[in-house]
A = this chain, B = another copy of it.
Amino acid sequence: MEQASGDDPAEPGRSRPSEGGRRARRVTSIDVARRAGVSASAVSRAFTEGAYISRELKARVMAAARELDYEPNPLARGLITRRSGMVALLMDELSNPFYPEALQAFGSELHRRGKRVMLFAPAPGEPLEDVLPQALRYSVDGIVVASAHVTSALAEAARKAAAPVVLFNRMLEHGGLSAVTCDNHAAAELVARLLAEAGHRRPAFVAGLETASTSIHRERGFAAGLHQAGLGAPRRVSGGYTYQGGYAAALELCRGGETPDAIFVANDIMALGVVDALRRELGLDVPGDVSVVGFDDIPAASWPSYDLTTMRQPLRAMVSETVQLLEDQLESAYPKATTVTLPGRLIRRGSARLPPA
């Protein structure tokens, strides 16, 4: 009698007393099948997009499923389909507010598409390509890499594993990886022209991580824009993409020679450090003595204490493009690397003297 067929697994109080009380038995596709009077395959088909199943049967299955509060187990499904419904996110700069924002955006975007986020936040030292196999073990549907430390080793590992990888907010010249970035060159070029037009003559650049494509492209674009305006190459210092680095960079820039009258900083978090160093430690006026322009438009950029003029990255668009690229790669058998470049938008605030819009 204990084994009477057709017993409802959702029914309470039927668990074996010896079970320990933990981990209620899960409702499976077989439970649903029994209830709907069909086979397990039918249940599977009902839950598979575009599977051959009659309208009527599907409805019956779905009804039973609803009653039992059933949904397919993604792990079991993933074992055979090799897709777990999870997307791995590699991020190692959570201390830059741009990334938590991106994380949030990825969360909702993926959730909308029925997927989940598996986060990999490797410690500073750990090589990214070590993370890749770990992610793959979980049969993730794809991998988004948002770390400044992408190397060709990673690209190579991705290629060998034939894993769908998309770089977010960075790119790799010859790695053969898809990527989504802002048009860093054009954006930086515009900043340079505007700064020059406003009469600045001693521009400087604060770089981020020397190997980061974002920093490199922003620097090149900035130099190109200055050149067009008839100005020479800017002085440059590196700030490692951190607040402290920006702070130190500003000091070095001002103490190590002629004080610049404009500083273009490769990202906002560093720019905040630059502004603080300029004002609090050097007693300079921003933008009176020196104009500061950042990149990203993180929330703090709009705070009155900073009121930072900055190049906004189209975050939501970048995120949804990234996810789309991932899906495209999953569809195609031999996907080719695609790079999507989205325009930035200048947000004029009070930290820089700029010509009227």
A269 closest partner in B (C-beta) = B299
A288 contacts the other chain (CB 8 A): no
Which residues, 284 to 320 on A, are CB-close (under 8 Å) to B? 299-300, 303-306
A84 contacts the other chain (CB 8 A): yes
A281 closest partner in B (C-beta) = B304
A119 contacts the other chain (CB 8 A): yes
Q: How far is the CB of A264 from chain B (nearest CB, A)?
A: 20
User: Out of B139, B160, B275, B305, which one reaches A276, CB within 8 Å?
Assistant: B305
If the complex has contacts A86-B118, A101-B95, A304-B281, are A333 and B22 also in contact, measured as CB distance less than 8 A?
Answer: yes
Contacts of A82 in B (CB 8 A): 23
User: Out of B22, B89, B99, B334, which one reaches A162, CB within 8 Å?
Assistant: B22
A329-344 interface bits toward B, Cβ cutoff 8 Å, 1 = contact, 0 = none? 0000110000000000
A75 closest partner in B (C-beta) = B75
Q: How far is the CB of A10 from chain B (nearest CB, A)?
A: 11
A6 contacts the other chain (CB 8 A): no
Contacts of A300 in B (CB 8 A): 300
Contacts of A111 in B (CB 8 A): 122-123
Which residues, 88 to 118 on A, are CB-close (under 8 Å) to B? 89, 94-95, 97, 99-101, 103-104, 107-108, 111, 116-118
Cα-based distance from A341 to B299 in the complex (angstroms): 32
A20 closest partner in B (C-beta) = B333
Contacts of A254 in B (CB 8 A): none
Contacts of A134 in B (CB 8 A): 116
Tell me whether B118 and A24 are in contact (CB under 8 A). Answer: no
Tell me whether B94 and A100 are in contact (CB under 8 A). Answer: yes
Contacts of A176 in B (CB 8 A): none
**Number of copies of this chain that the complex holds:** 2
Q: How far is the CB of A166 from chain B (nearest CB, A)?
A: 16
Tell me whether B121 and A104 are in contact (CB under 8 A). Answer: yes
Tell me whether B117 and A119 are in contact (CB under 8 A). Answer: yes
Cα-based distance from A116 to B87 in the complex (angstroms): 13
Contacts of A138 in B (CB 8 A): 74-75, 86, 116
If the complex has contacts A121-B108, A276-B305, are A75 and B78 also in contact, measured as CB distance less than 8 A?
Answer: yes
Cα-based distance from A71 to B137 in the complex (angstroms): 8
Cα-based distance from A84 to B73 in the complex (angstroms): 12
User: Out of B95, B118, B120, B276, which one reaches A100, CB within 8 Å?
Assistant: B95
Q: How far is the CB of A41 from chain B (nearest CB, A)?
A: 19
Tell me whether A103 and B74 are in contact (CB under 8 A). Answer: no
User: Out of B20, B99, B305, which one reaches A305, CB within 8 Å?
Assistant: B305
Contacts of A101 in B (CB 8 A): 94-95
Tell me whether B94 and A103 are in contact (CB under 8 A). Answer: yes
A198 contacts the other chain (CB 8 A): no
Contacts of A241 in B (CB 8 A): none
Cα-based distance from A100 to B103 in the complex (angstroms): 10
Lowest 3 A-B CB distances belong to which pairs?
A107-B121, A280-B304, A100-B100
Known interface pairs A71-B133, A73-B137, A276-B303; 15 further A-B residue pairs with C-beta atoms within 8 A, sorted by A's residue number: A21-B334, A23-B162, A74-B138, A75-B75, A75-B138, A94-B101, A95-B299, A99-B100, A100-B100, A103-B103, A116-B138, A243-B303, A275-B305, A276-B305, A279-B304
11 A-B pairs with C-beta separation under 8 A: A24-B160, A75-B78, A75-B139, A94-B101, A95-B100, A95-B104, A116-B138, A279-B305, A280-B304, A280-B305, A300-B300
